[in-house]
Structures are given as structure tokens and as C-alpha cells.
Amino acid sequence: DTGVSQNPRHKITKRGQNVTFRCDPISEHNRLYWYRQTLGQGPEFLTYFQNEAQLEKSRLLSDRFSAERPKGSFSTLEIQRTEQGDSAMYLCASSLGRRGSYEQYFGPGTRLTVT
Amino acid sequence: SQELEQSPQSLIVQEGKNLTINCTSSKTLYGLYWYKQKYGEGLIFLMMLQKGGEEKSHEKITAKLDEKKQQSSLHITASQPSHAGIYLCGAGPYGNKLVFGAGTILRVKS
């Protein structure tokens, strides 16, 4: 059973460019979450999916951010017109989402640096 | 909204010593999660607590949730260099989003 994988692991981009991150959850996990973490802070929730349905979005997720999970498997997080404030670690997690199995398992993260 | 406060923010212990990290919530906890993170990496799931008074152990790490379900503690016995890292508590009910504390940085001196 492989864990949650994220690609790329590191991304350096210039301000104003668009970036896309990918997350592959643990197989059979119904729920998929995106978080953002800045230095010295705990992760902050961005959005999550139950299968292909996006159930909740944080107010942190401005119009420049969009997430998808087509077919309820992998997910992508796109940031348009990146700003320096978007520099952070973007973490993906997945869970079975069933009673007794709510633990979220995290991937290694994608570190974004906007120059 | 729920807020989690962790204490201490950081600590340095001598190898072999015991230590405790606390996590206090502004609201009743429905699902309390402990994670460990190495710098620049993802979070590793340690334990989940749900019931008041619940206690779980894994190897030399024990986590407890108080009866009122507003505070949790993580206790490490006989610390080792492998225990070094950032410990994060997270809370959220029934598979919904998690709210995290700011983390506790643990350094173990050998």
C-alpha cells in the first residue's frame, strides 16, 4: 500500500505565472484534502473532496486558486497569477472517510517558491 | 472557530529524558490527532483520540485526551534522537477538515 504522493516536490516560479500541483491519494481513500503550511505554523485547510465532489473551500482559497478531483482519484491544485505570498508548502492528505477510519495521511508536500 | 494552542513552543531534552507536550483547545474536541513532522517534509500520523479520558500508546509515545475533551497531552518516555522533530496536534470531527496548532519543536541532545 503506497502512501500519498505529490508532484512536483519543489517548484520555483516567477510572480504572475501559473502553477499546478498533483496529488495521488492512497488507493480506495474517498476523501482528499489540501492544506498550506508556512514556516513556523501548522497546516491551514484549503479544501477537501469526497470522491469527486468538492465539499468545502476555505476563505483562504481566493479566486486564483482552483482544485479538481476528476473521477475521484488524483487531484490537482492550480494557482493562477502567483504572488510572493503564495510561497509555502502545499500538503495533500487522504482518508477513508468512513466511521472509525478518519485519520488523514499526508503526502511529502510541494514546496512553492515565488520569486 | 476552533483554535489549538500548543506548549511549549520548543524544547531541548537530553537523550533518555521524558517529556510532555500539551495541546489546549478553545472548544470541545471531537477527534484529536497527533502528527510528527520532519523539517521540510510531510506529516506522519501518530495517534487519534476521540473519547474523553482516552489514552493510546505506540512504542514510547503516549497520548491522552482529558475527560472534558479540551486538552490533550503527548508524553515521550526515554527520548531518543529519532524522536526529534515538530509535533503537531490537529482537531476536527468525523473526517472533516483539521485545524492545527502551531507545533512544538523537539530537539534531543545525545
Give how far Cα A22 sits from Cα of A13, A42, A68, A99, A110, Å.
16, 21, 10, 27, 9
- The interface residues of chain B toward chain A in range 44-103, judged by CB-CB distance below 8 A, are 44-45, 48, 88, 90, 94-103
Q: Which residue has the cell 473519547?
A: B51
Q: pLDDT, tens digit, for every residue of A62-80?
A: 899 999 999 889 999 999 9
B12 touches chain A (CB under 8 A): no
Q: pLDDT, tens digit, for every residue of B49-65?
A: 988 899 999 899 999 99
Q: Which of A24, A61, A115, A21 is nearest to B97 (CA)?
A: A61
Average pLDDT of chain B is 94
In angstroms, what separates the C-alpha of B42 from chain A's closest C-alpha? 4
B90 in Cβ contact with A45 (< 8 Å): no
Please give the average per-residue pLDDT across B72-79, as a whole number: 98
Q: What is the DSSP letter of B73?
A: E
Nearest Cβ partner of B102 from A31, A42, A98?
A42
A40 touches chain B (CB under 8 A): yes
Confidence band of A1 (pLDDT split at 50, 70, 90): low
| Cα three-residue angle B95-B96-B100, rounded to 5 degrees | 105
Per-residue pLDDT, B36: 98
Q: How far apart are the first and last CA of chain A?
A: 37
Position with higher pLDDT, A62 vs B33:
B33
Per-residue pLDDT, A43: 97
Top residue of B43, B45, B47, B89 to mutate, by most chain A CBs within 10 Å, is B43
Pairwise CA distance, residues A60 & A72, whole Å: 23
| Cα three-residue angle A99-A100-A103, rounded to 5 degrees | 105
Give the three cell numbers for residue A84. Answer: 510572493
